Amino acid sequence: MENVEVQSFLDLARVCLKTEDLPDSIRIPLNTIFAKKSGANLYRPKIVCEKTKGIPQNKHPILKGRRNSVRNILCIWYLLNGDTKKTKEFLQSYAKSGMTEKYEQELLELANQQYLEFFCLGVVRENVYEIIETLNSSEFDLFRDKLPSPFFANQNDPSDISPILTAYSHVIPWEDYMGRYEEAERFFGDKQYEKAKEVLRKLEEDAVIRLPVVEALNKKIKAIEAEAEEAWDYFQKMLN
Amino acid sequence: MKYLIILAILVFSSHSFAKERLPSNCAHLSEVSKASFVLFNKKEFMQLGECLAIAALKNQKKLDLVRSCNEVDEDRRNFLGILSLSKLESILLGQCMGTINYIYEHYNKERVSDNRYRSNNRIVYRCNKGVKAVDILRNIKTEEIGREDIRELLCDEVYY
């Protein structure tokens, strides 16, 4: 009993994602990765203690000191576009020979393909590079150490990965969001700030999730308006 | 970046040397609306500044030229030049340039009409322009200054 973590992998996932309720869209893949033995003979022994019996609440306890593997696997699974089979293959390959060129390419390619969602959720390309670099490092052990977060740094919690929950608990019309955001950006480019603000306001109202890009553009418009206000005040003072 | 700085200097000097480029028609000054302030580009703000300066000088109003001309100087030293100017800074910069150009246009080579020189009508003003004029105005000790004082600072009285 001393060689296993008290919390189950689902408990640990709930902590990482800051929720009390894991949606099936995340719970089922995690079960497949941690509990199913098929296609897991190389990585599973490094994470799950298979010998412990008689804990009805926790049939697949995580080995002591390996709790970070749950967080890391969530990140990898997310970056691999939620493809559970591919995630298992990656874990097998990593357990056998560490990070390989093949998966490096795969992660980069998927980052490009998922640009809509990544863009809206604030996944930063540099962070994906950093994750790949970390995976390549000989010092790093995916089953023990903590991967950096792929998300744009949350000031209070730089390693926050909870946006994964957002992405998987709603059906999100990424293309619609992106289209509307781009419309706002076009208005912004044409200096039609009032129209841009209106599009952004409606988008924020409709969006089921927080959209960092919308907040960033709004901030830019506010800065321009404040600058114009300052110049206008001076102009008025000079005229009168 | 070098080119940017050269460009900024060129823009500046072309304003100082070419008399006809002075915004002689500052009609837009009275038509400017608040909404247009988000739309104007830096060059338009500078022109607005020039017009403000000309209007002030014509109406015998005083100007804070130290602030304005320091903006020209900063712009000259700034690596990014004109790109980093805010809207207000562009207006200020335009005011400095507008003042120098206005004084130059009105007084350079003009005969000094002063009672002191009634007997000698071969005395004219020779006014400074460009960087030298900016440096003179930056070093004024008073905060606000009127047209006659500006002319005194920028123009020398010389024999024709």
In a domain, A200, yes or no: yes
Could you give the CA distance from residue A212 to residue B65 in angstroms, rounded to a whole number? 43
Nearest chain B residue (CA) to A226: B38
Q: Which of A79-88, B73-82, B102-111 has the lowest mean pLDDT?
A: B73-82
Give the model's pLDDT for residue B145. 86
In a domain, A59, yes or no: yes
Q: Strand ranges (DSSP E) for A75-221?
A: none
pLDDT digits (tens, 9 = 90+) for A8-45: 999 999 999 999 999 999 999 999 999 998 999 999 99
For residues A191 and A158, membership in a common domain is answered with no
Instruction: Report the gap between the CA of A128 and the closest CA in chain B (Å).
Output: 32
Instruction: Report the gap between the CA of B73 and the closest CA in chain A (Å).
Output: 20
For residues A179 and A142, membership in a common domain is answered with no
| pTM of this structure | 0.60
In a domain, A201, yes or no: yes
For residues A158 and A235, membership in a common domain is answered with no
In a domain, A2, yes or no: no
Write down the ipTM of this complex. Answer: 0.75
For residues A203 and A114, membership in a common domain is answered with no
Residue of B12 and A55 predicted with greater confidence: A55
Q: How confident is the model at residue B18 (pLDDT cuts 50, 70, 90)?
A: very low
For residues A100 and A201, membership in a common domain is answered with no
Domain count within chain A? 2
Mean pLDDT of A52-59: 68
Structure tokens at A163: 């946006």
Could you give the CA distance from residue A34 to residue A91 in angstroms, rounded to a whole number? 11
For residues A202 and A159, membership in a common domain is answered with no
Residues 21-60 of B with CB under 8 A from A: 29, 32, 34, 37-39, 45, 48, 52, 55-56
Could you give the CA distance from residue B73 to residue B54 in angstroms, rounded to a whole number? 20
Which domain covers residue A53, as residue numbers?
9-167
Q: Domain boundary residue among A149, A167, A185?
A: A167
Could you give the CA distance from residue B26 to residue B11 in angstroms, rounded to a whole number? 20
Q: Domain boundary residue among A110, A139, A167?
A: A167
For residues A160 and A49, membership in a common domain is answered with yes
Instruction: Report the gap between the CA of B37 and the closest CA in chain A (Å).
Output: 5
Vertex A154 angle, CA A216 and A24, to 5°: 105
Reduced to 3 states (helix: H, G, I; strand: E, B; else coil), residue A100 is coil
For residues A158 and A184, membership in a common domain is answered with no
Asked if A127 and A75 count as a contact pair (C-beta separation under 8 A), the reply is no
Listed in sequence order, the residues at least 6 apart from A82 whose beta carbon sits closer than 8 Å to its beta carbon are A25, A29, A168
Structure tokens at A16: 């990482």
For residues A195 and A103, membership in a common domain is answered with no
In a domain, A1, yes or no: no
In a domain, A4, yes or no: no
Could you give the CA distance from residue A106 to residue A155 in angstroms, rounded to a whole number? 29
For residues A225 and A179, membership in a common domain is answered with yes
In a domain, A38, yes or no: yes
Structure tokens at B45: 């703000």
pLDDT digits (tens, 9 = 90+) for A87-144: 999 999 999 999 999 999 999 888 887 777 777 777 777 888 899 999 999 999 999 9
Q: Domain boundary residue among A167, A188, A216?
A: A167
Structure tokens at A238: 């000079």
- Chain A residues within 8 A of B36 when measuring between CB atoms: none
When mean pLDDT is compared over A180-194, B26-40, B50-64, B125-139, the highest value belongs to: A180-194
- Chain B residues within 8 A of A193 when measuring between CB atoms: 38
**Are the beta carbons of A231 and B37 separated by less than 8 Å?**
yes
Give the model's pLDDT for residue B113. 74
B91 touches chain A (CB under 8 A): yes
**Are the beta carbons of B87 and A238 separated by less than 8 Å?**
no
Sign of CA dihedral B12, B13, B15, B16: positive
In a domain, A188, yes or no: yes
Structure tokens at A65: 């000191």
Question: Which of A191, A224, A235 is nearest residue B91 as measured by Cβ atoms?
Answer: A235
For residues A116 and A186, membership in a common domain is answered with no
Nearest chain A residue (CA) to B29: A239
For residues A43 and A63, membership in a common domain is answered with yes
Burial of A155 (0-12, 13-18, 19+ CB in 10 A): exposed
Which residues on neighbouring strands pair with residue A151, listed in sequence order?
A123
Q: How confident is the model at residue A212 (pLDDT cuts 50, 70, 90)?
A: confident
Give the model's pLDDT for residue B139. 86
